[in-house]
Amino acid sequence: MKYIDEYRDAGQSRAIAEEIRRRTTRPHTIMEICGGQTHSIVRFGVDTFLPEEITLVHGPGCPVCVTPIEQIDRAIAIASRPGVIFTSFGDMLRVPGSETDLLSVRAAGGDVRIVYSPLDAVRIARENPERETVFFAVGFETTAPANAMAVFQARELGLRNFTVLVSHVLVPPAIETILSSPGNRVEGFLAAGHVCAVMGTEEYVPIAKKHRVPIVVTGFEPLDIFQGILLVVRQLEEGRAEVENAYARTARDEGNAAARALIARVFRVTDRKWRGIGSIPRSGLGLAEEFAGFDAETRFDVASQTAEESPICISGLILQGVKKPPECPAFGTVCVPEHPLGATMVSSEGACAAYYRYRRT
């Protein structure tokens, strides 16, 4: 398939892996930020082609995995109310809250609908003026522009029955948190190419400088990932710590100016709790004052809800690169995709789901 096969070329991948081997003289631990990259690494066995000195650890870049359990419970509470149409991307429906999930709410008669764009939720709100329509606005910087556009359009249309349950998170503060943690072992990062396509690369420059870590903007196919690893290894071996862009076919250093402007207009930066990790200052987006009337937490009065994680689940350690899924005692036994204990076993981008699917044996 054009634009995919050329980035899965086995011969070129082996050649880059060989180059990585040639340049590696000592151990290095590298983290890929995005869950999509994790799935490519595990699915195509990228790590198995690397020299044993290179350890890949998996980062927190799976939006479904880091949405806090309280927010899932809030979504469930809102979706269970009579008269509400609750809309969401499909992968949020099976994420476990503290007692149940959105799919079970739907099975019990709740009007929970899967949409492929937040603008579909705006359309549903227009078509159902007598009912409240809520959209579950989760994700990183990648989904923020479309979600911002939905809120913006709803206001332009004068919709009073549309709100968003916002749980947006930002990548750079998470990288800062990982690098600042006492047990950190990550020496270099593969940054997520699609996030940089929106936001550009400038936010990463002070992080690379302050922590002396190479950060390479990387795509999602095997060849992209081998290339990203090679650039990180090259920097580590040469004692450099810079931001490099190995995904220039999509991401520009300045990002997407229109998308950034829309995000800045509709949202404001706020503290945000990450599932399994905890609260990270200025690591999320909430609605700006001007759009506060579209906040579902306020409209449905669910902001004070609290919840507890499963004591068995170690997904927080996995998302920070401290452990890998097979090290969890529940992996593949009491925790499987059909009965997940944590979000990393549910999401199509979750590390536990990737290992379960491709490395179970």
CB of 278 to ligand SF4, least distance (A): 16
CB of 61 to ligand SF4, least distance (A): 16
The SS3 call for residue 334 is: coil
Residue 204 or 356: the one with the smaller Cβ distance to ligand SF4 is: 356
User: Which string of x and - marks every residue 298-317 that binds ligand SF4 (by CB under 6 A)?
Assistant: --------------xxxx--
Give CA separation, 49 vs 16, 56, 219, 321, 344, in Å. Answer: 10, 12, 18, 20, 25
> Which residue sits closest to ligand SF4, CB atoms considered?
342
327 near ligand SF4, rule: CB under 6 A: no
Q: List the one residue from 325, 347, 349, 354 that touches ligand SF4 (CB under 6 A).
A: 325
CB of 313 to ligand SF4, least distance (A): 3
Q: List the one residue from 345, 347, 349, 354 that touches ligand SF4 (CB under 6 A).
A: 345
267 within 8 A of 288, measured Cβ to Cβ: yes
251 within 8 A of 201, measured Cβ to Cβ: yes
Residue 76 or 341: the one with the smaller Cβ distance to ligand SF4 is: 341
Number of residues that bind ligand SF4 (CB under 6 A): 16
Identify any residues that bridge with 139 across adjacent strands, giving them in sequence order. Answer: 168
CB of 356 to ligand SF4, least distance (A): 8
296 near ligand SF4, rule: CB under 6 A: no
Q: 144 CB contacts (<8 Å, ≥6 apart)? A: 168, 198, 259, 263, 267, 285
Q: List the one residue from 217, 231, 236, 341 that touches ligand SF4 (CB under 6 A).
A: 341
Residues constituting the chain? 361
Q: Which helix (H) or strand (E) holds 78?
A: helix 69-79
The SS3 call for residue 161 is: coil
- CA dist 69 and 98 (Å) reads 7
197 within 8 A of 256, measured Cβ to Cβ: yes
Residue 37 or 315: the one with the smaller Cβ distance to ligand SF4 is: 315
Q: List the one residue from 87, 218, 344, 347 that touches ligand SF4 (CB under 6 A).
A: 344
- Contact residues for ligand SF4 (CB under 6 A)? 312-315, 318, 325, 328, 330-331, 335, 340-342, 344-345, 352
